[in-house]
Chains A and B, each alone.
Chain A
Amino acid sequence: MTLVEFFRAAPVAPDILAPSLWLIIALPLLGAFICGVFGKMMGRANVQLVACAAVAGSFVLSLLAFWATSHHNPETGRLAAIFPNPFGIERDFVRYALAYDYGTWFSVGDFRVNFGLMVDHLSGILLLIITGVGFLIHLYSTSYMEHDAAYWRFFAYLNLFVAAMLTLVLADNLILLFVGWEGVGMASYLLIGFWYDDPAKAWAGRKAFVTNRIGDFAFLIGTFLLVLLVSAFTQQSNAADYNNAGTTAQHYTAALEKKGPVTFKGLEKMAEGLVDGSADKVDLSTPIEAGPLEGYTFGGVMTAAMLLFLLGAAGKSAQLPLYVWLPDAMAGPTPVSALIHAATMVTAGVYLFSRMSALLVLSPTAMATIAIIGALTSLLAALIAFAQDDIKKVLAYSTVSQLGIMFMGVGMGIFWAAVFHLMTHAFFKACLFLGAGSVMHGNGDETDIKKLGGLRKEMPWTWATFLVATLAITGIIPLSGFFSKDAILHGVHHNHLQGLEWVSSLVYYLGLLIAASTAFYMTRVYLLTFEGPRSKEARVAHAHESAWQMTLPLVVLAVLSVVAARYAFGIDLFNMTAQPVLDNFLSPVFSATKRITDASALVALDTSRPQLVPDYLKAWAVALAGGGAAAFLYLRYFPSRVGLPDPAFIRAVRPLALNKFYVDELYELIVIRPVKFMSFLLFRVVDALVIDTVAVRGTAWVTARVGSALRYVQSGDAQAYAAVMAIALLGGMAYALIQVMQ
């Protein structure tokens, strides 16, 4: 049995597994319920067992589902799991995917949302990351939270988060995805403010929530725009449009009636229909004829919707201008930072755009905006990370920076590489965060890297795994981070957006700068934490290595961050021109996207592979330059100047970076102050005067006066009351009579 045959023989066939997909979400949800409601009386060990078992069960199901997508059915001769595309014609199948529709969730008039779940290769990868890394982090937490009294609350929230994130990934339509989107936001809020008796931490939770809400608002408006777009499309489209999308008007409208307008498959079909063609066809430059969007073109509305989704994704994935919450989110327990704020939730934006890539490639403007936002965020965060001394803060800014790189990839249309980087980042960043947590755990919760140092001998497992993850994120061959980042940079360099060719070069060179910066700050963190002598200000004289529950996940994640590099190569490892495995693997997901880019001139996608010379050498040189600079500064330069004042360039740059380029202060000035002033005004005028004085107290006053006047009418005589009713009846009848007479 060859490996390929092994993967094609899934233990559970897709047809059998599909109706049970809901269990993947239900298990962690049940775990959250049990831990949250009965946790306190169950005891620590049972709560840990339930929480870990729920995620482990979900992981096994996810594995089965992922496996089933590649299932080969010898009876029908089908090469893969398929299901009929509801929006297509009879023989239009979605390949390498399984889906199940549990019926209507709600419907309002024509608008309908189904509870439909779908697993394809994209969501399959995310499923495995969420449940796999999620399980490791649950395991890690059993040791990390061993002294915390509110352990049951912690595990309930953690399970709740996993359930929400799985909903986000499994959803086959935008509204259900939004449920998960909001769910992870809520779980994130609960976990950041987990130690809510510390006002700063509670505040950080609130900041994250409010910042996310701004993005969610944009997300919703984007969704509404898409709904309007779909209805305009169905009204104006003709046979040629549907022919372009490989379907017919009957099939499309019938599926719309059954599945609602917000399913991803339906939106993909519309995107294919909108690609320009003959003269009498609806395309991106056609104006919308009726409805609230009358007069705007399809392409314009699409760009607007995508930019709104960008704002939504910027909130969730911590991009400019909404990235400010993520560094503060480190107030939560470290496993939370690893799971939510590094591996899974913050990548939701990347997932969203990958999921809607077919719509995204219709709008080069939106793509360029995404790429530039990603690059700027990434560079800014990397520069801020230079001067941060809190190990978790550095990692947080590093996360923002890496997410920026993913956004660059998505924005420049190299979706598979963005997903690849998402995956490798989940491994090495979770490993780094858990390593940082292990360092904190062994050093009396010390987070200042200036007060650590020399941990290499005392915490060997943590050191080794942290080193591997650092090398991975820095981009040293042959670790996974190198290949995923390089795939993005290569794609960015060679893909072109129509009319915006300059973006490619700009983003590419910014990307090289980011790579060097990443190498610099990561090397700095590593050196200050693990190398050199132990700091004199350390809290404990000797660090102790953590328990196996903490080191095992570290080892697993470190191994994963090494072996994930395999996916960057072709099936034949030494063929440098072959299509990368992951690119091939994800191609069914992006098939509609590819058809659109092939048919239109909007986006030119390049399929060449990075070469040893010059691509790999350039990337390596950049990484070495950054890392070497850090090594020189922190191993030779600063130790030799102990006691001397800092040199001039440090004094000039350091305060700026240390204070995060004053972005928080800028927001304070231009957003928060005006909002506070408006709130104060509203409080004084509307709330205190109009509502409190006039409305509330006034109503009470009038009621009291009227009541004391009417008190005399209340005689207690039932007949008097009946007489009043009789008079009222007479009045009503007389009024009716007069109305009829006229």
Chain B
Amino acid sequence: MVPITYYLLLAAALFCMGMFGVLVRRNALVVFMSVELMLNAANLTFVAFARMRGDNLGHVSAFFVIAVAAAEAAIGLAIVIAVFRSRGSILLEDLRTMKH
């Protein structure tokens, strides 16, 4: 049997890699993909804990996370398209309107 800790460590590693991508990459699309990685890491912990406790609740949570992630991806990509239309770029360093 594989100890649950291994799964959790894998999830932590995935989460940190996702976060690294969010913080370092400047292409908005890649940042988005990194966010999906982070969401997957969260799902992995849910499922791992579900296995650890022998409880289906973690699976249900993962299910909801996937559904919300789908919604988020749809809206996020729509925003990326809209931004690209208006500015001609999806590089984060070109999008500094929050300063104003």
Contacts and interface: CB of A to CB of B under 8 A. Distances in A.
Q: Does A touch B (CB under 8 Å) in the complex?
A: yes
B99 interface: yes
A718 B95 contact: yes
A719 B92 contact: yes
Contacts of A718: 92, 95, 98
A726 B15 CA distance: 12
A739 interface: no
Interface string A705-742: 00000000011111100110010000000000000000
B99 A714 contact: yes
B38 to A, nearest CB: 11
A716 B23 contact: no
A717 B92 contact: yes
Interface string B83-100: 000000000110111111
B1 to A, nearest CB: 26
A717 B92 CA distance: 7
B23 A715 contact: no
Contacts of B93: 717
A715 B96 contact: yes
B62 to A, nearest CB: 22
Nearest to B100: A716
**A-side interface size class:** under 10
A715 B95 CA distance: 11
Interface in B38-81: none
Interface in A264-289: none
B19 A726 contact: yes
Interface in A677-725: 714-719, 722-723
Contacts of A715: 96, 99
A716 B19 CA distance: 19
Contacts of A719: 22-24, 26, 92
A384 to B, nearest CB: 73
Given A722-B22, A723-B23, A716 B97 contact: yes
Contacts of A716: 96-100
Interface centre among A714, A716, A723 (most CB of B within 10 A): A716
Interface of B: 19, 22-24, 26, 92-93, 95-100
Interface of A: 714-719, 722-723, 726
Given A716-B99, A722-B23, 10 more contacts: A714-B99, A715-B99, A717-B92, A717-B93, A718-B92, A718-B98, A719-B92, A723-B23, A726-B19, A726-B23
23 contacts: A714-B98, A714-B99, A715-B96, A715-B99, A716-B96, A716-B97, A716-B98, A716-B100, A717-B92, A717-B93, A717-B96, A718-B92, A718-B95, A718-B98, A719-B23, A719-B24, A719-B26, A719-B92, A722-B22, A722-B23, A723-B23, A726-B19, A726-B23
